[in-house]
């Protein structure tokens, strides 16, 4: 008897809730309840339908051109010159990969350290200035980053280029519009994403962890690197994932600083990203050229899908490991 009531103690809450739902499900409220349910379902379905429609549309409009050009010539051809119907996008694919990698290499350490500073080290007064500034940075439209890049970074890069390659007649001068400029702009653009998400993750680490670490005699910096960061690892990783997403999909900011000539990527050469290739040429293109731009769109689409899947996989396996470690 006693055992039974003990056993029932927790689930006993459920029947009460259920009966109250049942009583609410009558008359007008019942209709409203059902209507809202369908509304929510509809909203959920809209998102799925959009993804499906975009996927289908991209395949329908992108695949024919890839078929006509030949998938190997398209993906691994190294010349993009519409006039001669040469549509090889290997330089653009590599540029997108290296540009994003470069932005991550600069953006992640700076962003992570800023997040640590904000969450662990900054005096409150300073934090109150830096944090809103970072949040504001996230809201600035990408074209503004591009304009500033074109006005400030490009001339500096031109000077640097002239210094470095002064006696190199084989170097093709870009006037400062090159991969390095694009990487700098992208790195600044992904900073706020990485900072905000990492800072939240670091702040969410329970204080007991830090206290335990101090109790064992660690210094503040040791605690941060050995305890706090490992504990906030998955949050930081999702910040990086979102940063990669933002960097690889960006077009407006880098179109102004990348030079947009489809060369193989190197720091001081004019380059064309997958995104900027589509944006720059869409207006005047026609026929196979236009179809090929849809082909680029499809490649970019598949690219981002793959990156999302792989990174999500990494994140999930990381979380599973953590869960196991906790058990």
Partner 1 sequence: MNKKVLSLITGAAIITAAFTGCQNSGTSSQTQSSTANSSTESSAAQESSQASSAEESSTVALSGTLSMNGSTSMEKVIKAVNGAFTEKYGVQVDLNLTGSGTGIKEASEGKCDIGNSSRALTDEEAQTLDATVIGIDGIAIVVHPTNEIADITIEDLAKIYAGEITNWKDLGGADKAIVVIGREDGSGTRDGFESIVMGDKTPQYAQELESTGSVISTVGNTDGAIGYASLANVDETVKALNVEGVAATEETVKSGEYKIQRPFICATLKDSDNELVKAYLDFILSPEGQELVVAQGAVSVN
Residue closer to partner 1 by CB (options 37, 226) is 37
DSSP label at residue 123: -
Tokens of 170: 């084989």
Residue reference for tokens 């293109």: 285
Nearer to partner 1, 96 or 174 (CB): 174
Q: Which helix (H) or strand (E) holds 311?
A: helix 287-326
Please, are residues 134 and 196 in contact by the beta-carbon 8 Å criterion?
A: yes
**Closest CB to partner 1 among 78 and 135?**
78
Min dist. Cβ of residue 135 to partner 1 (A): 32
Q: With contact defined as beta carbons under 8 Å apart, do 74 and 88 qualify?
A: yes
Interior/surface letters 191-202, b for 16+ CB within 10 angstroms, e for the rest: bbbbbbbbbbbb
Query: Given the complex with partner 1, which of 35 and 42 has the nearer CB atom?
Result: 42
CA distance 185 to 180: 9
**In angstroms, what is the minimal distance from the CB of 292 to partner 1?**
10
Length of the chain: 327
Residue 308 beta carbon to partner 1: minimum distance, rounded to whole angstroms: 21
Q: Which of 155, 184, 161, 156 is nearest to 250 (CA)?
A: 184
Nearer to partner 1, 243 or 259 (CB): 259
| Residue (71 or 164) nearer to partner 1, CB | 164
Identify the residue whose tokens are 């039974």.
4
Shortest Å, Cβ 81 to partner 1: 6
Torsions phi, psi of 160, nearest 5?
Answer: -60, -45
- Largest pairwise CA distance in the chain: 95
CB of 198 to partner 1, least distance (A): 35
- Give CA–CA dist 139/14, Å, rounded: 44
Shortest Cβ distance from residue 19 to partner 1 (Å)?
8
CA-to-CA separations, 48 to 38, 54, 64, 242, in angstroms, rounded? 15, 10, 25, 20
Least separation in angstroms between CB 247 and partner 1: 21
State the residues that interact with partner 1 by CB under 8 A.
Answer: 1, 4-5, 8, 11-12, 14-15, 18-19, 21-22, 41-42, 44-46, 48-49, 52-53, 56, 80-84, 155, 158, 162, 165, 169, 171-177, 255, 259-261, 270, 272, 279-281, 283-287, 289-290
Nearer to partner 1 among residue 83 and residue 124 (C-beta): 83
């Amino acid at each position: 008897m006693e055992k039974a009531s003990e056993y029932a103690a927790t689930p006993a809450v459920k029947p009460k809730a259920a009966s109250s739902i049942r009583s609410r499900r009558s008359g007008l409220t019942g209709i409203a309840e059902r209507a809202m349910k369908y509304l929510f379902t509809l909203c959920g379905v809209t998102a799925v339908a959009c993804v499906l429609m975009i996927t289908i549309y991209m395949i329908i409009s992108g695949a024919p051109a890839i078929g006509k050009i030949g998938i190997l010539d398209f993906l691994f051809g190294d010349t993009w010159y519409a006039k001669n119907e040469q549509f090889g996008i290997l330089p653009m694919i590599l540029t997108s990969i290296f540009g994003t990698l470069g932005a991550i290499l600069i953006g992640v350490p700076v962003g992570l350290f800023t997040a640590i500073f904000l969450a662990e080290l900054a005096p409150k007064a300073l934090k109150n200035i830096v944090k809103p500034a970072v949040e504001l940075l996230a809201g600035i439209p990408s074209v503004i980053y591009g304009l500033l890049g074109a006005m400030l970074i490009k001339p500096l890069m031109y000077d640097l280029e002239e210094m470095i390659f002064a006696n190199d007649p084989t170097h093709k001068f870009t006037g400062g519009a090159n991969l390095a400029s694009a990487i700098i702009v992208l790195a600044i653009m992904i900073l706020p994403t990485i900072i905000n998400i990492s800072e939240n993750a670091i702040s969410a680490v329970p204080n007991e962890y830090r206290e335990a670490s101090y109790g064992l005699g660690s210094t503040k910096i040791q605690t941060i690197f050995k305890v706090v960061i490992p504990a906030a690892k998955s949050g930081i990783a999702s910040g990086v994932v979102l940063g990669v997403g933002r960097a690889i999909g960006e077009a407006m900011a880098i179109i102004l600083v990348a030079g947009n000539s489809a060369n193989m990527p190197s720091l001081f050469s004019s380059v064309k990203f997958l995104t900027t290739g589509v944006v720059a040429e869409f207006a005047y293109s026609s026929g196979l050229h236009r179809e090929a731009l849809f082909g680029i769109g499809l490649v970019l689409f598949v690219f981002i899908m793959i990156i999302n899947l792989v990174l999500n996989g990494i994140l999930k396996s990381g979380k599973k490991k953590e869960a196991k470690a906790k058990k």
